Structure 1
Amino acid sequence: MFKTIVTTSAAVTIAAGAMIFAGSNTAQAGNGWGVAAGVAGGFAAGALVGSALSQPRYAGPPTYYYAPRRVYRPAPVVTYRPAPWTNAWYNYCTSKYRSFNPRTGYYLAYSGNYRFCR
């Protein structure tokens, strides 16, 4: 970046000096003030252009758009469970669990605990 600014500044200085030198007549050209004024004007213009180009610029982080994910869940599986203490419930639990006790409504699970039949 600095190299570009110096190159731009030098080019502007030379161009301004050449324009002023070309515009002056031969009597003033021998004096040397025209070239010096052109170089000084070019230096000032180059300094202005160079400082304008070298200003820090803030570039914020890029904005990302995340599309919302669509999660497709399967429909819930509906199982048939009869209401407790009905004839259908007694038939269901008796056929499903061999250790079902119809007086309490519990069966003996593999863990060794008694669970209510649902």
Structure 2
Amino acid sequence: MTKKTLKAVLAAALIGVAALTLSAPAEAGRGHGNAVGAGIIGFGVGAIVGSALTPREVYVAPPPPPPPAYYGPVSYGPPPWSPGWYSYCHSRYRSFNPNTGTFIGYDGYERFCR
């Protein structure tokens, strides 16, 4: 425990002991003066202990980084449907179909030539 916390706990204990030893006996017809006094003392003890246990510095997590920007798929080579694209795909893939722009891969699926 820190010294400040220890002092606050000891002060609260001292106030509590004083409230118990100095209380007057209950008398009929006098009202609720002791209850009000005990409430005020309890509020004071709570305020002292609560303020002693509250941290002085509060650390806040930094905000999360912004999401990465999406730039779309990357393509290399000439743009689709250009004469350079036709010649590139025809020379690279034997199964290239110039009508659809697709070829058949080793797995048997049709893929668009990029």
Please state which band the TM-score falls in when normalised by the shorter chain. Answer: 0.3 to 0.5
Q: TM-score, normalised by structure 1?
A: 0.43
Q: TM-score, normalised by structure 2?
A: 0.44
Please tell me whether Structure 1 or Structure 2 has the larger radius of gyration of its CA atoms. 1
Structure with the higher helix share, 1 or 2:
1
